[in-house]
């Protein structure tokens, strides 16, 4: 005699009996858990990579924390002995770093120090032009031998106290060549009248890593510096290093020295999650006074850094990126929820007879709900655990862990909740299906929220989406609300056109179309989830397609804006007329425009006077090469839209807090009144100055005495031109030291950004996952109605319908759902980009100063719609084939029994 079966045994036996449906719930739970748990970690990886990428691109000068202490002439504060300062500065740097907050100290390396003279004039090499000037900056750096390699000669040593000979120094090979200084030669520096410092070049070096902070903080260390002053002559300079032990004695021979301490900021130590703490600690550090102890005296240390700018730029891109990622993930998730609801309904419908029998024999509704919830947990718990483990394995090194675990717990609870909602009241008496009295209220609320969301998003500007790096909930939820509203409209209104079709077919000769249309008109049960699946899936997929097309076109446009045209050639000094003409004759070049270098100009504006780099351009020539750029990104727009009667000018890099609309250029001739338009972007890669002004040379008075010489040629390519060949020709014409700007290379560099590459990958995965889940949803829709469909086929075959006629009637069951769902999804997918992408700031993605226009790629849109239509057609064919294989007699006999 068998033992009594326990409740646990009955639970496992019933779970095995309905294992197929529970397995489907488990698959949905696994996919949902994987997507939700991986989402914050993938986002963290992408945004963290973008943050580190931005800091690397900023260079040491754009991120390191630097302070300098001046000794000698024009010293602020107490008088400081440079020799004693050199000795005490390392201990002060250590104390300052120890005082940093832990979050800032974690991203900053120990302090580095160096000391140098000013640029001291030296004698010129043999054969130098009479109006050429040469100078050298003498520097001591303790770690020079670690950061550089000896190319020729030997390392400098400290001369003895009684050695009155030249001081041994080394230069980089590039700087030595620029200065015309050979190993073994001596030159005399003159720091002040009557004082000379003889220097002997004993060796040349090269950087071990040109991108290291020491070399990147001051590019003249590796390259030297050269300025072509035109008729006033040329200036040559470089940095020469002495042995660190020689600095204390040598520093006293200079009129002034500068000791520098800096803390290298390491990009690889940054994470997106810790960024707010780092920014807070940085602000507190810069706001607090710091001192260096030198011989018992406190010397002020004023630290400065440009780190805030790349962090601010990154934050401005991270917030819309977070929102965009949420929208892209919402498509697969809402489709997964639809699949979950349909799977739960399938399980409950198949268990309904057993549940009714248990209720009739005394089982309480609470007991039945407990059993359903337990079945859901049996399916979801291991599936969610596997999904969470897979998400963690697929995202190694990502920081967030708590949020993925919380989301995994939520996914564990979803299947039991779906089963309980699908089960209904679970009372012994048969439940009559009727429309919920509050359904229309919920539908009206959804429609109202969708309209309100659209209105609020449309009224927003680019800078109003939110603050910080959090997801903007309004922008992220609007696509889902729009899809749900479209679904409600389709379900409630689709019956009318189908009814019209049925009425028109009533007078026809055949009964197939009329019967199918009439059945479709009245069969609204169960339409909500399949329609919602199609609308949401197709809508988000087309939104992803549009996002890819928009960012792709924006990247190409942003690259051309950064270069100034398709290509550009910038000389190391200036270009000759022959070189400019040669560029215009290159095969494939359609238009050219020159940018003339006017040297430093004295500009007075907003009550302040400063020296800025001057460029002269012809707006009409610029328009010819920038015709395909947005008007807001063209220099000609800024040059021509100024106060009438004044020379047009575009000003960039100004530090004035007062908007500048006019300025005065002080010249040796007639002063020039400028009508100024401030520009917040650099108009080309050839501009390398902090402050600059572009002047319309066609309206510049001849009496001003402002002249320029061609420095840059902007090139517009003819359609079908070979850009690589033109690039090579420009390099040949420009010669040594010339720089060629290439929009293709710029676009590749922009696309290499982790944010751009990650966004494209997420969009592609969203499309693929949405398509797969739509397949599952459609198949579930077919399975749910299998019994009724088979009975209908058996009845039709019994009364004489052929296989083709039967297929026609069945096609009407799914046809309206698929047609209206695909149509509504297409409308939603084509409308969403204009609603969401337009106010979402994409300038950080494209590297462009202007918001890219929303682009719809007909090829990609057609391919996406064709894919969904093919899936729908295959699902319909499968349903028809499955229904026709059943025996009509067997089905009718079972129904009669």
Burial (CB < 10 A; 0-12, 13-18, 19+), residue 535, is buried
pLDDT single digits (tens) 28-41: 888 889 888 888 89
- For 404, other C-beta atoms within 10 Å of its C-beta total 22
The DSSP-derived string for 815-859 is HHHHHHHHHHHHHHHHHHHHHHTTTS--HHHHT-SSPPPP---HH
Sites in the chain below the pLDDT cut of 70: 1-21, 74-78, 161-163, 229-231, 426-439, 460-469, 494-529, 657, 685, 782-814, 875-876, 878-897
- Residue pair 483/827 in contact (Cβ under 8 Å)? The answer is no
- Residue pair 594/710 in contact (Cβ under 8 Å)? The answer is yes
Q: Where are the domains of the chain?
A: 1-62+315-430, 64-118+255-305, 509-563+746-897, 572-737
Rounded distance between C-alpha atoms, residue 573 and residue 340, angstroms: 68
Rounded distance between C-alpha atoms, residue 69 and residue 302, angstroms: 8
How far is residue 262 from each of residues 100, 114, 214, 245, 593, measured CA to CA in Å? Answer: 14, 9, 9, 20, 42
The DSSP-derived string for 222-265 is HH-EEEE-GGG-EEEEEEEEE-GGGHHHHHTTSSEEEEEEEE-B
* Ramachandran quadrant class, 674 (left: phi over 0; alpha: psi -120 to 50; beta: rest): beta
Beta pairing class for 297-301 and 133-140: unpaired
Q: Which residues have a Cβ under 8 Å from the Cβ of 232 and sit 6 or more positions away?
A: 131
Beta pairing class for 608-617 and 692-696: parallel
DSSP 8-state symbol, 711: E
Position 517 scores a pLDDT of 52
In the block, residue with structure tokens 């010339």: 738
Position 784 scores a pLDDT of 65
Closest CA relative to residue 48, chosen from 469, 535, 527: 469
Helix (H, G, I), strand (E, B) or coil at 733: helix
Q: Which residues pair with 241 in a beta bridge?
A: 139, 170
pLDDT single digits (tens) 635-690: 888 888 777 778 888 888 777 767 788 888 887 777 888 888 888 888 886 787 77
Position 888 scores a pLDDT of 45
Rounded distance between C-alpha atoms, residue 38 and residue 392, angstroms: 7
Position 31 scores a pLDDT of 86
Rounded distance between C-alpha atoms, residue 66 and residue 262, angstroms: 4
Rounded distance between C-alpha atoms, residue 592 and residue 582, angstroms: 11
Task: Dig out the tokens for 702 from the structure.
Answer: 């001849």
Distance from the Cα of residue 263 to its chain's centroid: 28
The DSSP-derived string for 354-398 is HHHHHHHTT--HHHHHHHHHHHHHHHHHHHHHHHHHHHHHHSTT-
Rounded distance between C-alpha atoms, residue 363 and residue 355, angstroms: 9
Q: How many residues does the chain have?
A: 897
Position 316 scores a pLDDT of 81
Q: Which residues have a Cβ under 8 Å from the Cβ of 588 and sit 6 or more positions away?
A: 717, 718, 721, 722, 723, 725, 726
How far is residue 642 from each of residues 361, 636, 664, 693, measured CA to CA in Å? Answer: 89, 11, 14, 14
Q: Is the dihedral of CA 94, 96, 100, 106 positive or negative?
A: negative
How far is residue 133 from each of residues 114, 124, 222, 506, measured CA to CA in Å? Answer: 26, 7, 19, 100
The DSSP-derived string for 72-140 is ETT--SS---HHHHHHHHHHHHHHHHHTS-HHHHHHBPPPEEEEEE--EEEPPPTT--TT-EEEEEEEE
């Amino acid at each position: 005699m068998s033992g009594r079966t326990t409740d646990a045994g009955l639970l496992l036996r019933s779970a095995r009996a309905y294992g197929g449906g529970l397995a489907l719930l488990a698959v949905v739970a696994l996919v949902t858990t994987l997507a939700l748990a991986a989402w914050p970690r993938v986002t963290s990886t992408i945004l963290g990579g973008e943050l580190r990428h931005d800091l690397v691109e900023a260079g040491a000068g754009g991120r390191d924390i630097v302070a300098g202490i001046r000794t000698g002439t024009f010293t602020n504060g107490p008088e400081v002995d440079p020799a004693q300062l050199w000795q005490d500065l390392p201990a002060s740097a250590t104390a300052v770093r120890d005082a940093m907050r832990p979050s800032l100290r974690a991203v900053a390396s120990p302090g580095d120090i160096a000391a140098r003279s000013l640029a001291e004039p030296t004698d010129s090499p043999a054969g130098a032009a009479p109006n050429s000037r040469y100078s050298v900056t003498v520097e001591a750096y303790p770690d020079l031998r670690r950061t550089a390699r000896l190319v020729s000669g030997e390392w400098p040593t400290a001369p003895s106290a009684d050695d009155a000979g030249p001081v041994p120094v080394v230069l980089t090979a590039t700087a030595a060549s620029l200065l015309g200084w050979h190993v073994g030669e001596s030159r005399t520096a003159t720091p002040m009248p009557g004082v000379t410092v003889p220097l002997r070049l004993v060796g040349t070096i090269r950087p071990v890593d040109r991108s290291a902070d020491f070399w990147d903080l001051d590019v003249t260390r590796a390259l030297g510096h050269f300025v072509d002053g035109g008729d006033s002559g040329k200036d040559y300079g470089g940095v020469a290093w002495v042995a660190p032990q020689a600095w204390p004695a040598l520093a006293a021979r200079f009129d002034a020295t500068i000791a520098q301490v800096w803390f290298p900021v390491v990009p690889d130590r940054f994470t997106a999650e810790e960024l707010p703490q780092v920014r807070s600690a940085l602000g507190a550090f810069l706001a607090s006074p710091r001192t260096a102890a030198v011989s018992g005296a406190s010397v002020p240390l004023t630290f400065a850094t440009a780190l805030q700018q790349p962090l601010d730029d990154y934050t401005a891109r991270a917030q819309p990126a977070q929102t965009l990622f949420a929208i892209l993930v919402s498509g697969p998730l809402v489709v997964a929820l639809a699949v979950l609801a349909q799977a739960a309904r399938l399980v409950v419908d198949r268990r309904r007879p057993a549940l009714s029998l248990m209720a009739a024999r005394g089982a309480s509704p609470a007991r039945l709900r407990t059993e359903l919830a337990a079945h859901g947990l049996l399916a979801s718990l291991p599936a969610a655990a596997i999904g969470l483990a897979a998400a963690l394995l697929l995202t190694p090194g990502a920081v967030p862990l708590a949020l993925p675990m919380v989301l995994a717990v939520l996914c564990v609870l979803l299947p039991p909740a779906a089963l309980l909602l699908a089960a209904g009241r679970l009372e012994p008496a048969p439940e009559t299906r009727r429309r919920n009295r509050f359904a229309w209220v919920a539908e009206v609320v959804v429609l109202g929220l969708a309209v309100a969301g659209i209105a609020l998003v449309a009224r927003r500007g680019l800078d109003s989406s939110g603050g910080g790096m959090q997801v903007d909930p309004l922008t992220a939820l609007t696509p889902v609300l729009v899809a749900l509203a479209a679904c409600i409209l389709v379900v409630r209104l689709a019956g009318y056109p189908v009814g019209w079709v049925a009425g028109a077919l009533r007078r026809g000769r055949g009964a197939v179309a009329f019967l199918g249309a009439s059945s479709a008109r009245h069969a609204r049960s169960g339409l909500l989830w399949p329609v919602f699946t199609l609308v949401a899936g197709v809508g988000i997929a087309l939104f992803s397609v549009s996002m890819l097309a928009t960012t792709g076109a924006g990247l190409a446009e942003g690259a051309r804006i950064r270069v100034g045209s398709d290509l550009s050639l910038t000389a190391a000094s200036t270009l000759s007329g022959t070189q400019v003409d040669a560029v215009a004759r290159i095969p494939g070049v359609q238009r050219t425009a020159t940018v003339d270098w006017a040297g430093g100009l004295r500009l007075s504006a907003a009550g302040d006077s400063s020296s800025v780099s001057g460029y002269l351009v012809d707006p009409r020539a610029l328009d010819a090469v920038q015709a395909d750029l947005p008007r807001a990104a063209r220099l000609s727009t800024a040059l021509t839209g100024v106060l009438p009667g004044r020379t047009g000018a575009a000003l960039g890099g100004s530090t004035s807090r007062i908007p500048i609309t006019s300025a005065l250029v002080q010249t040796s001739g007639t002063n020039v009144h400028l009508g100024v338009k401030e520009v917040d972007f650099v108009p080309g890669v050839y501009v390398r100055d902090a402050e600059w002004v572009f002047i319309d040379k066609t309206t510049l008075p001849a009496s001003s005495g402002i002249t320029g010489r061609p420095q840059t040629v902007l090139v517009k390519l003819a359609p079908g031109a070979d850009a690589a060949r033109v690039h090579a020709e420009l390099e040949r014409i420009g010669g040594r030291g010339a720089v060629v700007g290439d929009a293709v290379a710029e676009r590749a560099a922009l696309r290499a950004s982790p944010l751009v590459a990650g966004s494209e990958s997420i969009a592609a995965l969203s499309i693929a996952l949405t398509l797969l889940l739509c397949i599952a949803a459609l198949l579930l829709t077919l399975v749910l109605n299998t019994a009724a469909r088979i009975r209908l086929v058996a009845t039709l075959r019994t009364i004489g319908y052929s296989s083709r006629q039967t297929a026609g009637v069945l096609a009407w069951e799914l046809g309206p759902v698929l047609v209206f769902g695909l149509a509504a999804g297409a409308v939603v997918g084509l409308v969403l980009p204009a609603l969401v992408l337009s106010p979402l700031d994409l300038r950080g993605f494209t590297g462009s100063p202007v918001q890219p226009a929303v682009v719809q790629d007909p090829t990609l849109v057609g391919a996406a719609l064709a894919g969904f239509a093919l899936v729908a057609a295959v699902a319909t064919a499968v349903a028809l084939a499955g229904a026709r294989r059943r025996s009509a007699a067997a089905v009718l006999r079972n129904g009669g029994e």
